[in-house]
Structure 1
Amino acid sequence: MKFPYVSYLRVFEPLDVFDDDQQLLIMSQRGRGRDVTENLDRGDSLRRITRTVSDPFPHTSEDLIRVLHYPTADGITAPRYCPNQLAVRSTLAAESLSSSLRDPLLGLLVPEAARDAQQSRLDPDNFVESLAKLHTRSSTWGIPFGWFVLFREDDHTERVETDHTLQTVRLAAPVPQCIDRARYAAASLAVAAPGLDLLEELTELIEWLETFTADAVVELDYGRVAELVYPDESPSDVHAGIESLADGDMTGAAAAYRRLAGRWIKIRQLARAS
């Protein structure tokens, strides 16, 4: 089965940030390789969407934990952790779907009985806590340009290949650095192009990142879309476009946007073709 191209923006935090129950869960999974975790997540997703009765929600209570081994300035690798929070994210996705679709299509994709059962499985306190600090954002059929503002091409990069096929590329940078980059870009756009949607997107990203500890690390996981665009110059093109706008160089800004649009419009067209 061919899955849609989904990319992720994740925040990984140190162990001591999490509560006791989460720490126990992390300790039970911290030795598992990232590739094994990704396979478990994909396998679980496939089982949910191929159920005899339509029900896209997870039924198990144990969450998956991703581990990022991020190198510090002194060269020592320190682990950080990102809970999958699948129950909360799937609930939010269903709510988003219900606002854009109407019955009977909504009922076919997410039956009311399945939604009611999911609500009964959720712990209200845990749901509110996870909602206030959601560690993962996802994007299908393309990466939002605002995400690229958070990274530079010389940031920590991991290429994941299987049998010479590129599975994904992951960029990672500390949260404070990402916030500074987003703030600088937002300040530049507020003066040069206050009407751009990118400014609103960056403001939302900054508010989200500010909910995490200063020791956290942000990861951009391209997912399988990496095989279509990598090596990718999108981070430098986004920064070049913003700098050009700040300098009043409309020609340079237009050129940067053309490079971005030409690279990603092909991906977004796949969504309409599938």
Structure 2
Amino acid sequence: MARPFPYVSFLRVYEPLDAFDDAQQLAILEQRSRGRRITEQLDYEQSLRRVTRTVSDPFPHHEPDLVRVLHFPGNSGSTTPYYCPNQLSVRTTLAAESLDATLRGPLVDVLVPEAAREAQQARLDPDTFADSVAKLHTRSATWGVPFAWFVLIHEDDLTEVIEDNGRVSTVRISARVHECIDRARHAIAQLAIGAPELDLLEELTELTQWLEVFRRDAIVEIDYGAVADRVFPDESPHDVRIGIESLAEADMTGAAASYRRLASRWIPIRQLARAS
């Protein structure tokens, strides 16, 4: 499997087939038998074609949107398929808008030319775009997994380690959305008491609001991406949880110890973003 660079991690929400409208269901049914490894390879190949165009244009044009399938075990022991549409056209549009808001000068036009943006707007359907923005199934982060994501999962959640030629190509951890929401709310309550000034409190509040958009029987997945090879086996979910509990109990020593473990693991990776 190709190894993307820079490191990109994903937080995805999967829903049952009947959570989607008729058009989305048809697209899902056409792809539901495809294996996850093939889907990831197709996604990588499509992204590579976009960034190697002779004319700078990072947007997808008319290729069909990919759908990922997650088979999650139920209480009976059998698995049920859940689906996560890639929504790439919407996500790239939002990313371009974010880039435009954060960068200044001619660099934006070099990366995302005005002509490419206008062409992308012409391809978008205003109604489906608005619906997709309101219910975006995928979030991404570069150079490390955000600490807020770790609040959603526990060490005993369903974990899949994907290896390729002796290296960990990714680790995927999944849990039911209602469990993730409960964990986030518990952490929010603890932080509101112990450390209301932390950015993590605001991040968790916004993350919980996003998860509440989906059906209660949805599944949440953290996909580490290629960064997993540097950190797995990873104790970050445990360290984040212990750190928050320590803050709620005013145990600054315990909170500092948890942060040191997290920092030693993730700061070197995030520093790679500024390495030349």
TM-score category of the 2 structures, normalised to the smaller one: over 0.9
The alignment status of 1:9 with 2:11, answered yes or no, reads yes
Provide the residue aligned with 1:139 in structure 2: 141
* Secondary structure of 2:168's aligned partner: strand
Hey, what's the Cα distance between the residues in 1 that align with 2:104 and 2:256?
39
Hey, what's the Cα distance between the residues in 2 that align with 1:61 and 1:173?
31
Provide the residue aligned with 1:150 in structure 2: 152
Letter in 2 for 1:14: P
Once the two structures are superposed, residues 165-197 of structure 1 have per-residue CA deviations (whole angstroms, 9 ceiling, x without a partner) of 211000000000000000000000001110000
Contact 2:243 2:256 in 1 (8 A): yes
Shift of 1:2: 5.7
Give unmatched runs, 5+ long, in structure 2: none
Shift of 1:262: 1.0
Q: TM-score, normalised by structure 2?
A: 0.98
Which residue, 55, 66, 69 being the options, matches 1:67?
Answer: 69
The alignment status of 1:23 with 2:51, answered yes or no, reads no
Runs ≥4 residues deviating over 4 A: none
* Secondary structure of 1:239's aligned partner: helix
Matches within 5 A, 1:86-97: 86-97=88-99
* Secondary structure of 1:262's aligned partner: helix
Alignment size in residue pairs: 274
Contact 2:9 2:223 in 1 (8 A): yes
Once the two structures are superposed, residues 246-265 of structure 1 have per-residue CA deviations (whole angstroms, 9 ceiling, x without a partner) of 11100000000011011000
Letter in 2 for 1:165: R
Provide the residue aligned with 2:195 in structure 1: 193
* Secondary structure of 1:206's aligned partner: helix
* Secondary structure of 2:50's aligned partner: helix
The alignment status of 1:32 with 2:49, answered yes or no, reads no
Hey, what's the Cα distance between the residues in 2 that align with 1:110 and 1:262?
35
Which residue, 174, 185, 189 being the options, matches 1:172?
Answer: 174
Q: TM-score, normalised by structure 1?
A: 0.99
Cα-Cα RMSD: 0.9
* Secondary structure of 1:154's aligned partner: coil
Shift of 1:103: 2.9
Give unmatched runs, 5+ long, in structure 1: none
Which residue, 234, 237, 240 being the options, matches 1:235?
Answer: 237
Which residue, 221, 233, 257 being the options, matches 2:223?
Answer: 221
